[in-house]
Amino acid sequence: MNSAQQYIDLYASQRDLICHHSAPVMNAVRDAAMEQFQQRGFPSLKEERYRYTDVTKAFAPDYGVNLNRVQVPINPREVFRCDVPNLSTHLAYVVNDQPLFERDIPYVSSLRQACIDHPELVVKYYNKAATGLALLNTALAQDGLFVYVPKNQHMERPLQVLNLLRSGVDMMVNRRVLIVLEEGADATLLLCDHAMDRVLFLTTQVIEVFCADRSRLDLYELEETHTRCRRFSNLHVHVGSDCVVSHNSITLYNGLTRNTTDVVLDGERSEITLNGCVVADKRQHVDNNTLVDHRAPSCTSRQLYKYVVDEEAVGAFAGKMLVRKDAQKTDSKETNANLCAATTARIYTQPMLEIYADDVQCSHGSTVGVLDEQALFYMQQRGISADEARLLLKFAFVGQVIDSIRLEPLRERLHYLVEKRFRGELNKCTGCALCK
Amino acid sequence: MLEIRNLHASIAGKEILNGVDLTIRDGEIHALMGTNGAGKSTLSNVIVGHPAYEVTQGTITFNGQDLLAMKTEERATAGIFMSFQQPIEIPGVSMQQFMRAAVNARRKALGKEELKATDFLKMMRERRKLVEIDSKLVNRSVNEGFSGGEKKRNEIFQMAMLEPTFCILDETDSGLDVDALRIVAEGFNRLRTDETSALVITHYQRLLDYIHPDFVHVLLDGRIVKSGGPELAQEIEDRGFDWIKEKQ
Amino acid sequence: MSDNENPKPKHQRENEQPSNEFVRRVAEEKYKFGFTTDVHTEVIERGLNEDVVRLISQKKGEPQWLLDFRLEAFRYWQSQQQPSWGHLRLPDIDYQDISYYADPTVKKKEGPKTLDDIDPEVMKTFDKLGIPLEERLALSGTAVDAVMDSVSVKTTFKQRLSEQGIIFCSISEAVREHPELVHQYLGSVVPYRDNYFAALNSAVFSDGSFVYIPKNTRCPMELSTYFRINARNTGQFERTLIVCDEGSYVSYLEGCTAPMRDENQLHAAIVEIVVLDNAEVKYSTVQNWYPGDSEGRGGVLNLVTKRGHLRGVNSKLSWTQVETGSAVTWKYPSCVLSGDGSQAEFYSVAVTNNHQQADTGTKMIHLGRNTRSTIISKGISAGKSENSYRGLVRVGKHADGARNYSSCDSLLFGNQCGAHTFPYMDVQNSTAVVEHEATTSKINEDQLLYCNQRGISTEDAIGLIVNGYAKDVINKLPMEFAVEAQKLLQVSLEGTVG
């Protein structure tokens, strides 16, 4: 079965409509992207980077696509008021794949607007790293977010983007984010995925990030959707010299998620941190795949991914550190730790080193383990029930990832959410219309 | 309070205890002495309900309840506390989180309401002073990076928080210097009430200089072979265990 | 005075001179097993088709079932593509340009019966390799099966071993003398469908060793097979089958060399090991096939499938390998841990220099309860070589209490080479504990300096440090092999740091 065909057909028949509701810069690269996609199709399970996620199957159902850009009739503030207490952010909404701003937010606009305001930037940076599944997104995406922080400017308040999925029918959503930080710029972004309806959602997302020399970026992604959501996210980060970049990806609730994170360290002395925390049960499937490409000397990379996988869930992690010939003095470390909480659950882990420079410090560690029996006994001797003790240990296990979050209010909020998640109390948060 | 009758227990199919009888009444302190491998730690682990040990025969009742039918945590919330020989480190679980869960579990068993956060913190502060434990330790993960002495002190601090009625001190003196031993023992003495009973497991007289037992028992090859008053401990200190063995 | 006027450049020159000289000498002399043997060898025509498969079978006088097995494997091989997933650039192999059978013992119809029947040149070859075939000269406590090209030349101590019911002979002989055992176990661990090269081997395998240790027997000496490729344009496709019955023990050694030739030589072997209840097998390899010259010309393509099946409860299997040779190594000695309580080990040192490429590692498949496996891999890359560890640890649903520990270290010399680690872990059991760690580093310059300061030359210091680094693995080898392996490591790396 070739589920790629329906997307090829869709594009062939709806190309004009797609372009009509989009911007020329985005339209300019569509045909080429589609042509490449047509040649390659979906990556199969035999492809090294897609061993653990069946892309073809996820894309096979017949999803609706809102090519006409019909406004989804909701006031996002009314349906969704979950936010992070004590964290003052600028809030933007993306309903399915349509950006929605209630007021002007500094440094942020829709991609379509950006094509008018900063066409030269969009031309320069848009679709520069698209490969694989990102190609399909390039062919179909009609709008997105554009974050641009000019030289030496600081985003005073973090930008929080609520990605809301809302539809009465099975729906495909193609989201796009372009982030450009000029020299010395500083930005903090928080992207939260929520699904408001129990239909089947298929999201493709491409986030392209360009960090010029001496810039700083903290990017947080939180997924709290439901079991009928499939998410394919491709994050491409291009890093110049002397940058400090961190990405945290937290998956608390989902259906099938594949996050591909590609980082190119192109300048000297930069630091990149990639963290991930996954809590999965039922039949959740979470596959994080990273590639950190050290092209320049003296960079540091750190990766820490922790999974707790229960019931019939599948957790997969594959991370490669590529150290090229000229990337001497690289300091690179990758850790993946997993708890397999049930014999029906499954964990795949594949940490990889590919190294061509000799003056480097590279290491990875990967573990699949069980909760510490002695710690459980100790806690029980103190009167803590076996269930509670297990919960505390699981919580401590993933807590290490959350502790690394720099924004304190967010860190606290995530500790709270993760604990709720382990207690099975998620989706009952106060303030959200759905849960009332 | 605690009544052990003809207790047989084994680990991994190997019998360690073969017929222990011991009665501890309210307010009594019993010392249990014996050589390595005599089964002292097995006895304490069986009392608190370590899952690796299997009771093959005999009974233990605690305040009239069938202890062996209770889960580890039920025994704990009923008032049994063990100060571990080697307290485990639990990275990532803060002392606060841990103690709050334990204190509330104990309160629930006693039919009391959960403590409010502020009251709990106040309680932590007060009890901390009793055992002269640094606030820094209490803010860390459970036992993580603690020295041997700090771990033992932390055990007594937890005892202070949980207010047990029956305590087992499993070789609390091992690895402690004299000062640390004094602080730990004095902490224990301060905490005990007329109703508190204890089973103090030790190799040496040293600890018993601070915690005065009412009775002393000698465990040998899985059975209590000799019982007596405090003078028995002194006799063992002077003469070792061999003379008891020879008598057998 | 005038001599001292310009001391610095002179000093530098002195330093350069010997090191260049040294590199040259190493390049030329390093591979000391590169000689050829001039012996009358019957080589069948190059090319591979069903008739060739039938011819090999016929030359060996095999029963019908074995011919059928070969033909099925051949047909399967034809339907498959050469795998490309390794981190390797495999030269194009023209399977029709290789001869699949070369017999240096052809003079005698039935194969050599006594030492007198063996061509003295062949005897000399093995003498030169340090493998005397006369039992009185043999290494103490080691029985040898010497295989040259497609044929087993001689198996020593056969008689003495058979007194204990131990069968140690060439696989061709085993097919004739013990067909029921061979039929029962051949292909039971590595089926011909396993992979492309396993299918090829199953179709055309020539010789190799067969070992059967009867119940409750501790094999009194090390068993060893020495493989030698000699003839030009031939491939070697040996097949080894070891069956260790209940409660028994055997230690088995494998050594390999080949002459220096400008073209690649294909070596696609299969080793199958069956370990029954409470039995233990140790399998050690010192692989020193010709690695090609410093420009990357020639060398053996070593494409090998090795696997042990730990069928019995509490069975044990240990793979130890020291890989210094071959232009290309593609080899993953693996263990299937089916028996409850079975234990497996994989200890490996792989050295690559010049243009060598190695993609090697193991698979540990945990199926039984309370199974344990340990993986220790040490990669050393120098020159322009590529050295990859690739390993899979799988814990099946029913493998309660499975434990695995893997540690993979890589050492790099210079930035012309690559060191890579590709571990795969797949866990389906909530009671499993799987741990993997890997590090990559260069040789510690402080250690070098320390050695230098104590008057040890850089070359010797590297030898010392590398041997220290590989010690965990070398220590697993039987004594005589360990000494050999240490020398080999040092020789393989000479000239890598100036």
Question: CB-based contact (8 Å) between C401 and chain A?
Answer: no
What is the distance between the alpha carbons of residues C339 and C359, in angstroms, rounded to a whole number? 29
The SS3 of residue C111 is coil
Residues A408-420 pLDDT 10s: 888 988 888 888 8
Residues C381-422 pLDDT 10s: 988 999 999 999 999 999 999 999 999 999 988 888 999 999
Give the range among A19-23, B69-73, B141-145, C449-453 with minimum mean pLDDT: C449-453
Q: What percent of chain A has pLDDT over 90?
A: 76
pLDDT band at C146 (very low <50, low <70, confident <90, very high): confident
Mean pLDDT for all residues in chain C: 83
pLDDT band at B96 (very low <50, low <70, confident <90, very high): confident
- A343 vs C contacts (CB less than 8 Å): 397, 428-431
pLDDT band at C103 (very low <50, low <70, confident <90, very high): confident
Is B206:B233 a contact under the CB 8 Å cutoff? no
pLDDT at B19 over 80: yes
Question: CB-based contact (8 Å) between A345 and chain C?
Answer: yes
C53 min Cα distance to partner chain A (Å): 32
pLDDT band at B248 (very low <50, low <70, confident <90, very high): low
pLDDT at A431 over 80: no
- B102 vs A contacts (CB less than 8 Å): 379, 382-384
Q: Do A363 and C438 touch (CB under 8 A)?
A: yes
Q: Do A393 and B82 touch (CB under 8 A)?
A: no
Q: Which of C418, C424, C428 faces A355 most closely, judged by CB atoms? A: C418
pTM of the model: 0.85
pLDDT at A187 over 70: yes
A308 min Cα distance to partner chain B (Å): 15
What's the rounded mean pLDDT across residues C53-61?
89
pLDDT at A232 over 90: yes
Q: What domains are defined for chain B?
A: 2-247 (3.40.50.300)
Give the range among A184-198, C28-42, C325-339 with minimum mean pLDDT: C28-42
Q: Do A354 and C418 touch (CB under 8 A)?
A: yes
Question: CB-based contact (8 Å) between B67 and chain A?
Answer: no
Q: Do A355 and C420 touch (CB under 8 A)?
A: yes
What's the rounded mean pLDDT across residues A352-375?
92
Mean pLDDT for all residues in chain B: 89
- A386 vs B contacts (CB less than 8 Å): 71-73
What's the rounded mean pLDDT across residues C119-132?
72
Hey, which residues 102-161 in chain C have their CB within 8 Å of chain A? none
A281 min Cα distance to partner chain B (Å): 22
pLDDT of residue C225: 85
State the chains in contact with C (3 or more Cβ–Cβ pairs under 8 Å): A
What is the distance between the alpha carbons of residues B181 and B175, in angstroms, rounded to a whole number? 9
Do at least 3 CB pairs under 8 Å connect A with B? yes
Q: Do B77 and A375 touch (CB under 8 A)?
A: no
- A393 vs B contacts (CB less than 8 Å): 90, 92-93
pLDDT of residue B55: 95
pLDDT of residue C456: 78
Q: Which residue has the higher pLDDT, A235 or B129?
A: A235
**CA angle at C180 for the pair C178 and C185, rounded to the nearest 5°:** 105
Q: What percent of chain B has pLDDT over 90?
A: 47
Q: Which of C416, C424, C434 faces A367 most closely, judged by CB atoms? A: C434
DSSP letter (8 states) at residue C25: H
C493 min Cα distance to partner chain A (Å): 15
pLDDT at B31 over 60: yes
B44 min Cα distance to partner chain A (Å): 12
- Structural domain count of chain A: 1
- A48 vs C contacts (CB less than 8 Å): 85
Is B62:B26 a contact under the CB 8 Å cutoff? no
How many CB pairs below 8 A link A and C? 120
Q: Which of C416, C430, C442 faces A370 most closely, judged by CB atoms? A: C430
Closest residue in A to B96 (Cα–Cα): A392
- A357 vs C contacts (CB less than 8 Å): 412, 415
pLDDT of residue C112: 52
Q: Which of B72, B87, B93 faces A380 most closely, judged by CB atoms? A: B72
pLDDT at A71 over 90: no
Classify the phi-psi angles of A424: left when phi > 0, otherwise alpha if psi is within -120 to 50, otherwise beta: left
pLDDT at A352 over 80: yes
What's the rounded mean pLDDT across residues A19-45?
93
Question: CB-based contact (8 Å) between A359 and chain C?
Answer: yes
Question: CB-based contact (8 Å) between C457 and chain A?
Answer: no
Question: Judging by DSSP bridges, how do beta strands C403-412 and C433-442 pair with one another?
Answer: parallel
Closest residue in C to A348 (Cα–Cα): C426
What amino acid occupies position C340? D
Q: Is the dihedral of CA C190, C193, C197, C200 positive or negative?
A: positive
Q: Which of A351, A360, A368 faces C427 most closely, judged by CB atoms? A: A368
Backbone angles phi, psi at C321, to 5 degrees: -135, 140
What is the distance between the alpha carbons of residues A215 and A218, in angstroms, rounded to a whole number? 10
Best residue of A277, A339, A376, A381 to probe chain B, by most B CBs closer than 10 Å: A381
pLDDT of residue C136: 54
Is A290:A304 a contact under the CB 8 Å cutoff? no
pLDDT at A203 over 60: yes
Q: Which of A380, A381, A396 faces B90 most closely, judged by CB atoms? A: A396
What is the distance between the alpha carbons of residues C81 and A135, in angstroms, rounded to a whole number? 29
Classify the phi-psi angles of B150: left when phi > 0, otherwise alpha if psi is within -120 to 50, otherwise beta: alpha
Question: CB-based contact (8 Å) between C80 and chain A?
Answer: no
- A384 vs B contacts (CB less than 8 Å): 73, 76, 98, 101-102, 105
Q: Where are the domains of chain C?
A: 39-331
Q: Do A347 and C439 touch (CB under 8 A)?
A: no
Residues 6+ apart with CB under 8 A from A104: none
Q: Which residue, A378, A388, A422, A379, is CA-closest to A402?
A: A422
pLDDT of residue A126: 95
Residues C462-498 pLDDT 10s: 877 888 888 888 888 887 778 777 877 877 776 665 4
What's the rounded mean pLDDT across residues A7-32?
94
Q: Which residue, B197, B199, B196, B239, is CA-closest to B216?
A: B199
What is the distance between the alpha carbons of residues A375 and C324, in angstroms, rounded to a whole number? 46
Question: CB-based contact (8 Å) between B82 and chain A?
Answer: yes
How many CB pairs below 8 A link A and B? 80
Q: What percent of chain C has pLDDT over 70?
A: 84
Q: Which of A375, A381, A397 faces B72 most closely, judged by CB atoms? A: A381
ipTM: 0.85
Question: CB-based contact (8 Å) between B72 and chain A?
Answer: yes
Best residue of C407, C416, C436, C497 to probe chain A, by most A CBs closer than 10 Å: C436
- B88 vs A contacts (CB less than 8 Å): 372, 374-375, 377-378
pLDDT of residue A434: 38
Question: CB-based contact (8 Å) between B206 and chain A?
Answer: no
Q: Do C436 and A360 touch (CB under 8 A)?
A: no
Is A90:A234 a contact under the CB 8 Å cutoff? no
Q: Do A351 and C430 touch (CB under 8 A)?
A: no
Q: Which residue has the higher pLDDT, B149 or A203?
A: A203
User: Can you read off the two tokens belonging to residue C337?
Assistant: 């841990």
